[in-house]
Chain A
Amino acid sequence: MKSLIRLGLAIVGITGLLYLSSLFIERSQGAAGADTLNIFNWGDYIDPELLEQFEEETGYRLVYETFDSNESMYTKVQQGGTAYDLTIPSEYMIERMIEEDLVLPMDHSKIEGLENIDPEFLDLSFDPNNQYSIPYFWGTLGIVYNDKMVNEDEISSWSDLWDPRFREDILFIDGAREVIGIGLQTQGYSLNSKNDEELQASFDLLKGLAPNAKALVADEIKMYMIQEEAPVAVTFSGEAADMMWENESLHYILPKEGSNLWFDNMVIPKTSQNVEAAYAFINFMLRPEVAAQNADYIGYSTPNEAAMALLPEETTEDEQFYPSEETIERLEVYEDLGPIYIEKYNDLFLEFKMLR
């Protein structure tokens, strides 16, 4: 009994110490103020060294928080009560946030280095003239396979995923638009289809794909593919780059039918308390050497032309990550579908999850 009491006391003591130190850390970080910059970014989406470098150079104190989906980021910004100065949503979410007045227009006279960005990634339909957003990374959705279990010639398109050989073998990213999109693109329809018949046809087609699904998961795909839990996965290009870095048997391909092309751009949400600091961060990230270091660390494709010159050739010449213009033609950007169709996509996806 005595030892039990001692154990209990020790635990109380340790938690007390941890609590005190957490208080100390919070105080030293501060909340919002003239010299703090609140960044809300995707998890694992920046080289942490760059954050330190930014703090050292500019003297701003960074408060860095992460999210794992555009939607949860949106909910937090929309509900208010947050003081994010900069966040990095994907294109369809930027479109929606512009529509709902949740982001501030950018003053281009305060931005330096926009000329470093490939003009192909500027002035896109979701944000004409880049009035609200500055490109951060871009990428595609594709297929990762392990050459120990699958031959190179066995997989080159979405329709190959239906092959009975891959029964219960494929890991899918847990996203409604991605999975329903596979059905749409296999039949040559648009990823932004708002046609009920096309959607139903895609779902019927996907019924045949369900037995091949091993699991529908999120970030864990990276870990599973590295550990060779599954031979094939459908995931984003940047995730794929990370996996390939860890496991040399993995390869990424862009399906023949085409795929999704996405952009993550930096925006200043309405909640911002320190717009000046946000501009300083945008300018910092636009610098070629910073963008190159970040791209090298994260593995996603950078829109920064000047930075590409600084990256190793084997990276920038990789057709799967920096595809030719001809391939880019076949890629499609998501548009905001509006609540009714988002619901339809998700209802079909929920139904897909229930298939066995």
Chain B
Amino acid sequence: MITKQNRLLFFPYFIWVGLFVLVPIGLLIYQSFIGLDGGFTVANFVTYFTSTTYLTMTIQSFIYAFIITLITLCISYPTAYFLTQTKRKDLWMLLLILPTWINVLLKAYAFIGLLSQQGSVNTFFDWIGVGRQQLLFTNASFLLVATYIEIPFMLLPIYNAIEEINPSVVQASRDLGANTWETFRNVIFPLSLSGVRSGIQVVFIPSLSLFMLTRLIGGNRVITLGTAIEQHFLVTQNWGMGSTIGIVLIVLMIIIMAGTAGRKKGVRR
């Protein structure tokens, strides 16, 4: 029941959402209709959807985000599952979460140190006789670093979802004669899907617009929508076009959220 007091308690939250979510999105929508000459126009959207550059960039961003999400999922799910089976869960969890306390920029620079021509990895390759390879500024290194950075965000929701499963459900499954694999497939996995979904949302969407890593690790040889937004806001000062790409991203996010939420009902049947 919503009493007067409760409504008062909601007040700060409404202000927060209004000021920091709704107003900025409103401004973004407004800006996206402003042309270079300052007039009201839909030219930005026309440019976006007719330019092969922007469309290829969108597709590329999608492919990269998809691969990053897939790799993080493949690594995080088994990790999360085995974590729930271990004895000292909190210690392991702490170890896995610890890297997120470090600034992303610092981690990126650390990877430069590892992957560069004189870096530790190449020194090792040289030592075992493989010879120095070009590691930095490749698609593979970009995917590696992006995946590394995103893993904790995928791991946590999945871990929580598996952890929340009532142990008696698993026991019941075993009592009724299911083996470990069957229990996992028919009980644990479906019940953990909510975690997988939030993990995908948290990883996929930011991956669409990674821009700092594309320069530092990808050497601008990997281009995502984030690169274009950054350029429009900071270099060309064409805020209209930058906002248009931002709007397209927001719409894509809503579609992804809706898509992953839709399946939720199907599972809960």
Interface, chain A (partner B; CB < 8 A): 1, 4, 69, 71-72, 74-75, 168, 171, 174, 176, 213-218, 220, 223-224, 227-229, 339-340, 342-343, 346-347, 349-351, 353-354, 356
Contact = CB atoms under 8 A, between A and B. Distances in A.
Given A74-B237, A350-B228, 5 more contacts: A168-B134, A215-B136, A215-B218, A217-B219, A229-B118
B91 A4 contact: yes
Interface in B213-249: 215-216, 218-221, 223, 227-228, 231-232, 234-238, 241
Interface of B: 36, 53, 56-57, 60, 90-91, 94, 112, 116-118, 134, 136-137, 215-216, 218-221, 223, 227-228, 231-232, 234-238, 241
Contacts of A224: 116
20 contacts: A69-B234, A69-B235, A71-B234, A75-B237, A171-B219, A214-B219, A215-B137, A216-B219, A217-B216, A227-B117, A228-B117, A229-B136, A343-B241, A346-B231, A351-B53, A353-B223, A354-B53, A354-B56, A354-B223, A356-B221
B166 to A, nearest CB: 24
Given A217-B220, A228-B117, A229-B117, A350 B231 contact: yes
B235 A71 contact: yes
A343 B238 contact: yes
B223 A350 contact: yes
A215 B137 CA distance: 6
Contacts, number: 85
A176 B117 CA distance: 27
Contacts of B112: 220, 223
Contacts of B228: 350
Interface of A is mostly: helix
B235 A215 contact: no
Contacts of A69: 234-235
Contacts of B57: 350, 354
Nearest to B137: A215
Contacts of A4: 90-91, 94
A339 B237 contact: yes
Given A227-B116, A353-B227, A174 B237 contact: no
